[in-house]
Every structure is written in C-alpha cells, then in structure tokens.
A = this chain, B = another copy of it.
Amino acid sequence: MKIDNATAQMRKGVLEMCILASVSIERKYATEILNHLKSVDLIVVEGTLYPLLARLRSAGLVGYEWEESASGPPRKYYLLTKEGELFLNELTSGWNALHNSVKNLINPKSKKS
C-alpha cells in the first residue's frame, strides 16, 4: 500500500523530537518510551529507537541511569540533560514553523499571520 509508506515517511524526522518530548515528561527506559509513543499512535520499533537513543546520548542531549528491576534485567532510564531541554524547545519551534508552512501551502487563504 502506497499510503502506508507515505505516512511512515512523514514520521521520519519527527521521531527525535518525540523521543525527547517523551523522556522530558519523566525518565523512561526504552520499552516505556515505545509504549508511550504507541499510545499516541506513533509506532516506533526497537531497531529504530536504540540507534536513535545512542545518537541522542552521544550528542549530549540525554543521559541515563541504570536501575535494578524487581523482575527481569536491569533498566536503563533515560532523562534529558539541560542541553536536551534547550534542544527540545528549538525542535518544537521548528515543528511549529513547519506546521505553519504546510498549513499556508495547503490552505493559502487562512493566513492568520
């Protein structure tokens, strides 16, 4: 199906922001992030998330804390650094700007400035 691929495309590039936003609410480990995003209909999978988290970490935008789990292997809780918070603000600004541009493009009449 073409449409599936296209909507998948649209999610690209927004993931970074979404993950930062998810973690900014409260520290989370990977599976929690996946479930959180899924709960707002943003399907992400492990193979996407882990490399992205690694990138965000090496960029200094997130840190993590290991914590033992009552049942199962230890968990790596990710949380935003101060840099990450600033960056998330910039990303949301960029996102809003994009949304605005697209709105103007699709519906040129409603320029509410």
Taking beta carbons and an 8 Å cutoff, which residues of A are in contact with B?
2-3, 6-14, 16-18, 21-22, 25, 36-37, 40-42, 59, 87, 90-92, 94-95, 97-99, 101-102, 104-106, 108
A108 to B92, CA, bound (A): 15
Q: Which residue of B lies closest to A108 (CB)?
A: B25
In the bound complex, do residue B90 and residue A14 qualify as a contact, i.e. CB atoms below 8 Å apart?
Answer: no
Copies of this chain, tallied across the complex: 2
Chain B residues with Cβ under 8 A from A105's Cβ? Answer: 18, 21-22, 36-37, 40, 42
- In the assembled complex, the CB of A26 is this many whole angstroms from the nearest CB of chain B, namely 12
In the bound complex, do residue A40 and residue B104 qualify as a contact, i.e. CB atoms below 8 Å apart?
Answer: yes
- In the assembled complex, the CB of A100 is this many whole angstroms from the nearest CB of chain B, namely 8
In the bound complex, do residue A13 and residue B10 qualify as a contact, i.e. CB atoms below 8 Å apart?
Answer: yes
A-B contact pairs, 19 of them (CB 8 A): A2-B59, A3-B91, A6-B17, A6-B91, A6-B94, A7-B97, A7-B98, A9-B16, A10-B13, A10-B14, A10-B98, A11-B13, A12-B13, A13-B13, A14-B98, A17-B102, A18-B102, A18-B105, A25-B108
